[in-house]
Amino acid sequence: MKKITIKSPATIANLVCGFDVLGLALEAPYDLMTLELQDQPGLRIEHADGFGLPTIPEENVAGAALLAMLEQVSDAPGMKLTIDKRIMPGSGLGSSAASAAGAVFAANQLLGKNFSTNDLIRFAMYGEKVASGVKHADNITPCLLGGVSLIRSILPLDVVSLDAPAMFITVVHPQIEVRTSDARQILKKEVPLKLAIKQWGNIAALVAGLMQGDHELIGRSLEDVIIEPARSILIPGFDQVKKACMEAGALGGGISGSGPSIFMLSKSHQTALEVEQVMQEIYRNIGIDFRTYVTSLNKKGITITATLS
Amino acid sequence: MKKITIKSPATIANLVCGFDVLGLALEAPYDLMTLELQDQPGLRIEHADGFGLPTIPEENVAGAALLAMLEQVSDAPGMKLTIDKRIMPGSGLGSSAASAAGAVFAANQLLGKNFSTNDLIRFAMYGEKVASGVKHADNITPCLLGGVSLIRSILPLDVVSLDAPAMFITVVHPQIEVRTSDARQILKKEVPLKLAIKQWGNIAALVAGLMQGDHELIGRSLEDVIIEPARSILIPGFDQVKKACMEAGALGGGISGSGPSIFMLSKSHQTALEVEQVMQEIYRNIGIDFRTYVTSLNKKGITITATLS
């Protein structure tokens, strides 16, 4: 194979009560990435979008992930990576994970699939480190595997794919900036044991609800008593959006990753569309630009759209 | 029905990483309880064991639970409750829950099954309050329902039964006293967020492991970075027992409830028996009296052994 094009999906990390350990893949939005063998050695990065992201491999999320992988490959060939980013950077929808995971997935295909999924996750985390300073896998894993992923541990890496029923996801991305580092700094380093117990009761019930296909239990478990109260103040309109979406029939939802996007899960496509209306109306009234997405759970993760042999 | 005899099983609360929210029912040991209609009004309690527990209903765990239930029944008949307790009080094996849950289960049968399982859990928690000062449901729920129970919330009550694979449980009860109130006081009121995240990753993975029937994942998830480090110092030999049992092939384990019993899960009966040998040897060497049990997961909860119409 000389050239491969893949689709790398957006993801929602944390899933409200699963801070740092849960993530879910979306059907849309997604990035398109093409990786191509080159005669000249080294790695070249080009962008087919207008975001102005770095092209120096070490400074680029996809590049850093690829370089971590290529260190493990003897006689690595030259490659050109073209990124058509459609997941807005800084949206809280796993834009950096899509780049990092997509790049190593594509390279693994191009180089003959020698690396395991866990290897790919480890390489891709080097990209996340470039993006946010922290190695985390709660976007990368669902991006690669699809569905809902649980990251029990990073060191040693221990990830679990969770069954989940069909669900529809509505996302609103208010066009404000919340830096991941700011979102991390706002969290207290100590939490009351009482709240921690409530949180682990909720995450346990969320996992049970997902695996039992019990939408109502999923909804009741989407409660975050630790992170959301701190972080939601960084997102104008958050409380209003959440309340109105629940009234419109959403099962539940919260901050996507470290924000500013807000997501809501719904049992039906119709409800997900009504939830979108509610979100649009609120941000129109507040006067903040926004984008919305109505999509469904992506069960496949990264997919190949074209290859050239 | 005039008379009913039931078997009310021992339970293991917390399950290592599920402090206050998980519990599991054992096939053995169990209490036997007989509830009988009487011509004279009121509630009489008799003991067929030698533990010298209270007979005044308000002061008795089973009595307090029954009284909470009878408040909701118009024209409640007189009843006599005979308790043959075989789960040692203070063992950390849900002795009080077996009494409280057993009493209300039996009364519900005798009075015509008018109350839901959630009602019975609520009544039985009055018994737990007498025993430990705190209403908790992580022993009561698996005692009533069997298998593994998750208590997402007490107020409002929200319990979930979790599928689980066949497992064997070895328990050692060193004959020392650990009061539940002491075991609670030793816990810090604040916990580091980092450890809380680790804990909720583990409980999420434990739930997934149970539901997927993945014994190895169950084993890896039986890790408690918050409660066990504090409480295990109240149990002589704990670290040694845990280490030796893991070496003998146990999947994992820890403190049962608030102790002093220690439990270990194993995939096979043979391993569970070898784990028992290890436990016995250690407490013989330490010089503390003990009891051990090798049993399996109880999937039925409380069962009726005899009725008289």
- Binned at pLDDT 50, 70 and 90, residue B184 comes out as confident
In the numeric block, the tokens 């810090």 are attached to B188
- Binned at pLDDT 50, 70 and 90, residue A113 comes out as confident
Query: With contacts defined as CB-CB under 8 Å, which chain B residues touch A156?
Result: none
For A95, counting Cβ atoms within 10 Å of its Cβ (0-12 exposed, 13-18 middle, 19+ buried), the class is buried
**Whole-complex ipTM:** 0.96
Give per-residue pLDDT as tens, A46-55.
999 999 999 9
Domains and CATH numbers, chain B: 3-162+298-308 (3.30.230.10), 168-296 (3.30.70.890)
In this prediction, residue B107 carries a pLDDT of 97
Give the mean pLDDT of chain B.
96
Tell me which residue of A38, A48, A49, A46 sits closest to A63, measured CA to CA. Answer: A46
Give per-residue pLDDT as tens, A223-270.
999 999 999 999 999 999 999 999 999 999 999 999 999 999 999 999
Q: Structure pTM?
A: 0.96
Chain A CB within 8 Å of residue B216 CB: no
CA distance B34 to chain A (A): 35
pLDDT mean over B202-230: 98
Q: Which two tokens stand for residue A262?
A: 């807000």
Please say if A11 is a catalytic residue: no
Cβ pair B127, B100 in contact under 8 A:
yes
In this prediction, residue B252 carries a pLDDT of 98
> Which of B 78-97 lie inside 8 A of A, CB atoms?
none
DSSP 3-state assignment of A28? strand
pLDDT mean over B301-307: 97
- Write the residue in A17, A198, A204 that is nearest to B18 by C-beta: A204
| A-B contacts (CB, under 8 Å) | 123
Chain A CB within 8 Å of residue B200 CB: yes
A72-76, A84-88, B116-120, B265-269: least confident range: A72-76
The residues of B that are catalytic are: 128, 180
Cβ pair A297, A26 in contact under 8 A:
yes
For helices A238-247 and A269-286, angle between their N-to-C axes, nearest 10 degrees: 150
Query: With contacts defined as CB-CB under 8 Å, which chain B residues touch A162?
Result: 208
Chain B CB within 8 Å of residue A187 CB: yes
Give per-residue pLDDT as tens, A97-109.
999 999 999 999 9
List the alpha helices (DSSP H) in chain B: 61-70, 95-110, 117-132, 140-145, 180-185, 193-212, 215-221, 227-231, 238-247, 269-286
Distance CA B274, CA B255 (A): 19
What is the DSSP-derived secondary structure letter of residue B297? B
Q: Which two tokens stand for residue A84?
A: 């058509």
Which amino acid would we find at residue B27? E
- Write the residue in B158, B194, B203 that is nearest to A200 by C-beta: B203
Give per-residue pLDDT as tens, A15-31.
999 999 999 999 999 99
Give per-residue pLDDT as tens, B14-54.
999 999 999 999 999 999 999 999 999 999 999 999 999 99
Give per-residue pLDDT as tens, B56-73.
999 999 999 999 999 999
Distance CA A273, CA A211 (A): 25
Which amino acid would we find at residue B10? A
Query: With contacts defined as CB-CB under 8 Å, which chain B residues touch A205?
Result: 150, 152, 158, 160
Query: With contacts defined as CB-CB under 8 Å, which chain A residues touch B205?
Result: 150, 152, 158, 160
**What residue of A is the nearest CA neighbor of B151?**
A201
Q: Which two tokens stand for residue A244?
A: 């109105």
- Write the residue in B160, B196, B205 that is nearest to A208 by C-beta: B160
Q: Which two tokens stand for residue A256?
A: 């996507």
Distance CA B162, CA A219 (A): 18
Write the DSSP assignment of B22-60 as a string of letters. Answer: EEEEEEEEEEEEEEEEESS-SEEEEESSSS----SGGGS
For chain A, give the percent of residues with pLDDT over 70: 100
Instruction: Check whether B160 has a pLDDT greater than 80.
Output: yes
Chain B CB within 8 Å of residue A134 CB: no
